Structures are given as C-alpha cells and as structure tokens.
Chain A
C-alpha cells in the first residue's frame, strides 16, 4: 500500500507537530508514509473566498504530487473535504469554460483516494485502539467539514475512547460551528468571535484539560481566543494524542 501524507499548508508552516505525529502514528501502525515535497495547498481558502479559477493550478499540483499513491492521508477534515466535495465541481466548470478535462481527471482520481486521518485509521486500517497512552481529560470538537461534509461520525470519538488513560468528556453544543470558516473569521470578525466565545465557554465548562479537534484551522481560531483569555484549556490535534505512547508520555 503506497500512502502519501498530505500535510496541508497550515500544518506544514504552523503546526508541524501535527504532521510529525501523523507520520509517527502511521509508522507505528506499520504503514510506510511518503511526503511528496511537491505538495503545497489544496486551494480551500481561495475557493471558499470566491477565487475558483485561482485554485485550478493548485488542483493540478495536487494531482501531480499525489499521482500513483493508493491513499492520500491528511490530518485535516476541511482540506480533505475540499478535495472530495469541490474538486469535481472545479473540474466540471473548467471543462464547460473550455479549459479541457485535465482537472476533472485529477478530481476523479483524487476523490476516492483522499481520506482524513481518522477515516484512514478506522475504515482502511480497521483499528480503533492505536496503542496510545494519554492520561488527561479531553473534550472533542468535531469540526463542521469533518462532521457534515465527510460524515466522520463517531470515528474520532471511538479512537479517543480507546486511548489508555484518557478520559473523554462530552462537549455541550459540540455540533455547532466554532466560527472559524477561513476568511469568514476575517470578513465577519464580530460574529466569528461571538461563535468562538460560545464554543470556548462550552469547552471550559467541561473541566477538560484538552480541547481536541481534527482540524488545526479551527483549533488555531479557538486556541487564539483561549490564549487571549488566559484560559486553562489547551487545544490539541487528535493526531498528537493518538501518536503519544506510554514511553513518550513519561518523558
């Protein structure tokens, strides 16, 4: 099985620990992971802001970077959702606008192979207990794209529940958007902040030490608010919890 890591631009530049954790975890499970250096960004920020044609070169690049792999695994629900939900749309429109069928081919090739990390673990590898140890109280925020576009369902929760030492506490209003939404957070700062404040209040109310998510964009927004408020709860990507074993937890 040839597996490529799609780290995503945000993780590459800002949250390398998440990408490293993904590699560590997958290797521990016996998967040989590759990181094609040609990858950059899936085009989600551009596309969602209304710059569809500007995403076309990125779609093409994604197609090139991940050609030949059985799976493209990414620790980001929203970037996977971008590929699975929008690439075909972009390709179809490019074709109708007379730019050939290359992008549709890329979309058709990538869509079935691109999977989010928890999907890969549960559906492809068939594991829920990944041998992790993390002795902390954790609450889980299911980001919108993972939840609704990809339909991750209870996969992340099942993985967390199987982690030794981890106590999972329910997040009230878990299904509600945290207010990030890419450029939404910049274009509509007041509503975005109001939504984030409510999410954080709910997270803090659980008494958990860690606010876990499967999408660092949402965690960046929430983490930024938590820090501004000097809140005790710490944002952390699920990959970093799943990658932690007894050995590391004690160092």
Chain B
C-alpha cells in the first residue's frame, strides 16, 4: 500500500491525539451523523432493500468464487474492444506500469479521477518520483492534495476539514499548483466549488493522460463503470487522449444485469441519493470519440491471498460505499488517519491487515480497533460480517504472539483454568468478596491500568451469587 502511511503508530496510540482534537471531533460527528440519518431514510424508501442486499452479496460471492473465469472474460472483451490489459501483482508493479505508460507518451502530468486503488498503491508519490505530477480532480481529493494531507474517509477524503479550513487551504496552496484562488474567497460552499472548478478546468483542458479507477468492471462486455457526483470524473474519462484505469481484481461483475443491483445499492448507501448524478461507462476505444488509447491495469496487491481466507474473503465484496464508516462510533472519535491506510473505519480494519499482512504494529492493532458493536454489519449493503472477520483476524494476531500478546495469552490460559474448575472459581470469588473493603477503585491493578484512568472499578459484593444460591435455594436442587 501507499508509502505515505508507512511507519504509522499502532491504532491506540494514533487515536490519543484525535480523541482530544475537539475541532476534528466536531467536524466528524457533524458530517457522519448527517449522512447516516440521510442514508437511513434513503434505504427505508425501498421495500426490497433486504433482497437487494442479499442479491448484491450473492453476486459478489459467485463472482469471487469464479474470479479467474470472469477476469479472463473481461480481458478478452477489453482487448477485443481495443484496450490493453496489464496484470499487476503488487503496488510496485502497478506503479511501474502506469509510470512507463505516461513516459511513453512523453508527458509529465496526468489528471486523476478519485480512486481508492491508486491511493492504496501510492501512485501519486510513485509518479512524482519519476518526475510526473498527478492532479487530483475530485473536490475532496483536491483539498487533501493542496493541503499536503492524507485522505481520512473513503467517500469524503477531506471529511476531517470544515469549510473555513478548506478556504484557507485554497488561498494558501492553489497558486502553487496552478490557477490561484479568486481574491477575497469566502467559505461559502458555492464559492469554494467555483474556485475549484476554475482551478481544475485548465488541468482538464491541458491533460493528455488521465488515470482513473473503477467502481465496477462488467465482464460480458469489458466495460468499466465510474459512479460519481461532481462530473470531474467524466471530464477525465472523455477529454484526454490516453486513459489508464487501475482497478482491483475484485471489482469485476459478470453482467449488466448485475450492475443494476449495485447501481441501487451504492448511491443509497454512500451519498444517500436515489441515484448518483454521474454514471460513466467506457468500453475499449472508439475512433474519434473519447481517449484514443485505453489501458486497464488489473491490481492484485494482496487480493488473491485474501481470497484464500475462508472467513476473511468476504471483505472483497466491499463496494466502497463508506456506510460502515459513517455509522462507526470508533471511526467517529478516532478519525480516519489513525487507521494508517487509505481504507479507514470498519472496512479498513479488516481489509488493510488482509492486504498488507499483520506484521507491522499498526496492522496488528487494526483488528482490535472496534468494540464489535455490529453497526457496520447492519448497514453494509453487501452484508459483510465485519465483526466476524475482526474476531477472525484477532485470532491470527494472537497466534502470531509478540508485544502484549504473550502476557495476554498467559492471562487467558490462567483464566481458562480457573473457569474450568468451578470450585476454584467460587473460592476466588469468595476471596474477592471478603477482601472487598481493601480493593482500590482508582489505582490501577495489573493489566487494567487504562481502565481506571477514566472509570472506577465496581465494588465487590458481600458474597458471590453462587453462595447466595447455595444458602437460599440449594435444597431445591434435584427436586
């Protein structure tokens, strides 16, 4: 994944700052609550939402089951339509392919459609290292790029910024990247959008090469689909001479009929719209209409390995709608940056450790970045059981051992022994009850230090329930 996130601290450390950043908390709470309420209404409008969700899940599962077959069909169709298909095993290979294609055109700049796949592989940084500037054209991506920042949300990468912060970024940075912000720019959303439009227009008209991702790839015709709100994507997809699309292999779906299901599920789940404003589809090349050259880079980068995991593979159903982020109480307080990956929130907590592995500290901490409250599973339009995968990945982290987990494993084993012997358990409970006056409520005991920073421990009762039962009800036993 992206080099920019490398060396991020583990999740619990990263959130220490964000939970105390009141501005960030206010921005996030406002934004996520607004969108989650709207989404709930948009979803409630459809009587058959449950069936649609089931259909979306089934189509994805069926496709993943025969992924090789559909990818080959896709390749055949793209090629027949005049496109070129490239296969990239990892980020480095994908970046190499794109950079070479741009250089072969003699270009030093590209315009970009917002894409999670290119974020994942750190394409912009890789291109920059080759002397190629990538211009983001999605409004929120533009804000992140101008602000020299990292995205913090799948759908709204700049969700952590409010409009006055955005105005300051525009005034400060636009001039360095191209057309400066208009004089006296206000923080009125319409004015901010107009400033972005003017700034971007010259980029669209100048660019010879565009880079995009895709929301879906339809195998039967070799067609790629981008779903968006602003129209910048359509400009990128139609104006330049060369179009390079970098897409994760799990984005393929068999037919147009299947696409119909997702074009209902995606907008309602993500932007709470009945239908998104722009749906662009492109199939290979057509003389005199749109890009003369089309390249499709099919990205693996950990997906095949994820597919091999029986429980974890459901993460590949994800259509990146971001509904799970918007309902997640942990995401709301931690902010997207704490997840150390372009995929934050609940889906990030299960996707990132699968794509990157669990060796690094941040990746090993992600499966624990959830209270398992289940809100994410409830809203997911393709019914990914995120809590199930989280627990499954925790098992892998615990098995791997290492920092913190050795002590934890020992404690779990000791508890297991006690819980395997009710008499010992009863004795322990009795002892705890007897010494209850001595228990400190505030000073930390072993392993529960963080607990007592903000909470008192409960007082122990005079006697455990077991003893009450024995005294008051036991004779009934076997009655």
B395 part of interface (Cβ distance < 8 Å): yes
Question: Per-residue 0/1 for B337-380: is the Cβ within 8 Å of any A Cβ (1 yes, 0 no)?
Answer: 00000000000000000000000000000011111111101100
Which chain B residues border A52 with CB–CB below 8 Å? 391, 395
Instruction: Mark the stretch among B55-63, B182-190, B445-453 that contacts chain A.
Output: B445-453
Q: A225 to B458: give the CA distance in the assembly, Å.
A: 10
Known: A13-B464, A50-B398. A186 touches B450 (CB 8 A): yes
Q: Taking the complex as formed, is B324 at the interface, i.e. its CB lies under 8 A from any CB of chain A?
A: no
Pick from B377, B447, B456, B476: contact of A224, CB below 8 A.
Answer: B456
Tell me the bound Cα distance from A251 to B418 in angstroms.
39
User: Distance (Å) between the CB of B169 and the closest chain A CB?
Assistant: 27
Q: Would you list which residues of chain B between 420 and 464 have a CB under 8 Å from chain A?
A: 420, 422, 425, 428-429, 432, 441-442, 447-448, 450-451, 453-458, 460-461, 463-464
Q: Which of A16, A32, A181 contacts B372 (CB 8 A)?
A: A181
Asked if A20 and B465 sit within 8 Å, CB to CB, the answer is yes
Interface centre among B458, B463, B479 (most CB of A within 10 A): B458
Whether B455 and A40, one on each chain, are in contact in the complex, defined by CB atoms closer than 8 angstroms, is no
Interface residues on B, range: 35 or more
- B34 at the A interface (CB under 8 A): no
CB neighbours of B456 from chain A (8 A) = 223-224, 227-228
**Interface residue? B409 (CB, 8 A):** yes
Identify the stretch in A98-106, A126-134, A188-196 within 8 Å (CB) of chain B at 4 or more residues: A188-196
Stretch at the interface among B195-203, B216-224, B295-303, B466-474: B466-474
Out of B334, B394, B473, B479, name the residue touching A191 (CB < 8 Å). B334
Instruction: Decide yes or no: A54 and B416 within 8 Å by CB, A48-B372, A193-B453 being known contacts.
Output: yes
A148–B378 CA distance with the chains assembled, in angstroms:
8
When C-beta atoms are compared, the residue in chain B nearest to A222 turns out to be B455
Q: How far is the CB of B253 from chain A (nearest CB, A)?
A: 29
Provide the residues of chain A in CB contact with B329, threshold 8 Å. 176-177, 179, 195
Query: A1 an interface residue at 8 Å Cβ cutoff?
Result: no
- The reply to whether A50 and B394 contact each other, CB–CB distance below 8 Å, is yes
Do residues A179 and B371 form an inter-chain contact, with CB atoms below 8 A?
A: yes
Closest chain B CB from A68 CB (angstroms): 12
Given the contacts A148-B375, A191-B333, A9 and B419 also touching, CB distance less than 8 Å: yes
Q: Would A12 and B454 be within 8 Å (CB), given that A38-B422, A189-B12 are in contact?
A: no
- Minimum CB–CB distance for A181 against chain B, Å: 3
Considering only residues 164-207 of chain A, those with a C-beta below 8 Å from chain B are 175-177, 179-197
Q: How far is the CA of A227 from the CA of B454 in the complex (A)?
A: 10
Contact partners of B453 in chain A: CB under 8 A: 189, 193
Contact A187 B373 (CB under 8 A): no
Kindly state whether residue B266 has any CB partner on chain A within 8 Å: no
Does B413 reach chain A (CB closer than 8 Å)? yes
Distance between Cα atoms of A197 and B456 in the complex (Å): 14
Closest to B428 in A: A13
Q: Is the interface of A mostly helix, strand, loop or mixed?
A: helix
A19 to B369 CA separation, bound complex (whole angstroms): 32
Q: Is B477 interfacial (CB 8 A cutoff)? A: yes
Whether B461 pairs with A40 at a CB distance below 8 angstroms is no
Give the Cβ gap from A56 to chain B, nearest Cβ, in Å.
10
Taking a contact as CB atoms under 8 Å apart, the answer to whether B458 and A14 are in contact is yes
Q: Which residue of B lies closest to A13 (CB)?
A: B429
Tell me if B19 counts as interface (CB < 8 A to partner A). Answer: yes
List which A33-88 residues lie within 8 A (CB) of chain B: 34-35, 37-41, 45-52, 54, 57-58, 61
Given A189-B451, A225-B455; A12-B398 close (CB under 8 Å) = no
CB of B394 within 8 A of CB of A48, answer yes
Contact B454 A50 (CB under 8 A): no
How far apart sit A220 and B456, CA to CA, in the bound complex (Å)? 9
Task: Give Cα distance in the complex from A55 to B15, angstroms.
Answer: 31
The answer to whether A23 and B395 touch (CB under 8 A), given A14-B458, A148-B378, A189-B453, is no
Contact A194 B397 (CB under 8 A): no
Chain A neighbourhood of B20, CB < 8 A: 190
Encode contact with B along A87-98: 1 for CB under 8 Å, 0 otherwise. 001000000000
**Interface pairs A-B: 10 shortest CB-CB:** A181-B371, A224-B455, A50-B394, A189-B450, A177-B373, A50-B398, A16-B465, A144-B373, A148-B374, A193-B454
Residues in A lying within 8 Å of B, measured CB to CB: 7, 9, 11-17, 19-20, 23, 32, 34-35, 37-41, 45-52, 54, 57-58, 61, 89, 144-145, 148-149, 175-177, 179-197, 220-221, 223-225, 227-228
What are 21 A-B pairs at a CB distance below 8 A?
Answer: A9-B419, A13-B461, A20-B465, A41-B419, A47-B391, A50-B367, A51-B412, A144-B371, A148-B375, A181-B373, A182-B371, A188-B369, A189-B451, A189-B453, A190-B15, A191-B12, A191-B15, A191-B333, A223-B458, A227-B441, A228-B442
